């Protein structure tokens, strides 16, 4: 399995080499350099620390359920908390293109690739306005008071999803059902 390109996104435009590391969120994993394929790159069009929930149908069979459950006709839904709208407007994010032939698929998550050695980027380009990037790609970006309702909906087996930095999200609200 191979892809034409893999990317890394960062707020730092000066990285000259990516070195393998153990992610804080997955301390059991061997050190690796992490990358994302082009189809899944929008999962990283956010400030690094921004909690987000994203979901999308994997195929036409899932599309109907996805559109009904999420009340959308968009191909993807991304959501951030209201407090992250200002950082979405002001963060300068850079896309590093990495040599795809140096990476192998990481099967634990859609679109993720890893290398177990140092990797030098091929190119670095600014992403530009993050809200505009979502709009141009036809991705519905929701700004919500709490990510938890969408989190709970996204984790079904009905479609693919990615949930990032929930440790930075507001606490789950207390809900009383009467």
Predicted model pTM: 0.92
Is residue 35 a contact partner of residue 112, using CB atoms and an 8 Å limit?
A: yes
Q: Is residue 178 part of a domain?
A: no
Q: What is the mean pLDDT of the chain?
A: 94
Judged by phi (left if over 0) then psi (alpha if -120 to 50, else beta), residue 171 lies in beta
Q: What is the domain count for the chain?
A: 1
Q: Is residue 173 part of a domain?
A: no
Give the structural domain span for 39: 6-168
Q: Is residue 174 part of a domain?
A: no
Quick one: tokens of 42?
């929008």
Q: How many CA atoms lie within 13 A of 176 on its CB side?
A: 1
- Segment 52-81 shows an average pLDDT of 96
Question: Residue 91: what pLDDT?
Answer: 98
Quick check: 157 pLDDT over 90? no
Q: Is residue 18 part of a domain?
A: yes
Do the bridges between strand 140-144 and strand 77-81 make them parallel or antiparallel, or are there none, so unpaired?
parallel
Q: Is residue 75 part of a domain?
A: yes
Quick check: 138 pLDDT over 70? yes
């Amino acid at each position: 399995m191979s892809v034409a390109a893999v990317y890394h996104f960062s707020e730092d435009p000066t990285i000259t080499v990516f070195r393998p590391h153990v992610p804080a969120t997955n301390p059991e994993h061997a050190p690796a350099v992490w990358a994302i394929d082009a189809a899944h790159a929008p999962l990283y069009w956010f400030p690094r620390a921004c909690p987000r929930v994203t979901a999308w149908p994997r195929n036409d069979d899932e599309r109907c359920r996805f559109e009904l459950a999420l009340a959308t006709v968009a191909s993807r839904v991304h959501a951030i908390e209201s407090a992250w709208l200002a950082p979405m407007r002001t963060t300068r994010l850079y896309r590093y293109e990495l040599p795809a032939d140096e990476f192998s698929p990481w099967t634990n998550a859609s679109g993720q690739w890893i290398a177990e050695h140092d990797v030098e980027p091929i190119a670095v380009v600014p992403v530009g306005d993050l809200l505009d990037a979502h709009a141009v790609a036809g991705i519905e970006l929701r700004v919500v008071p709490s990510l938890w309702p969408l989190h709970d909906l996204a984790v079904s087996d009905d479609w693919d999803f990615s949930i990032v930095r929930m440790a930075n999200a507001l606490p789950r609200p207390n809900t009383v059902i009467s």
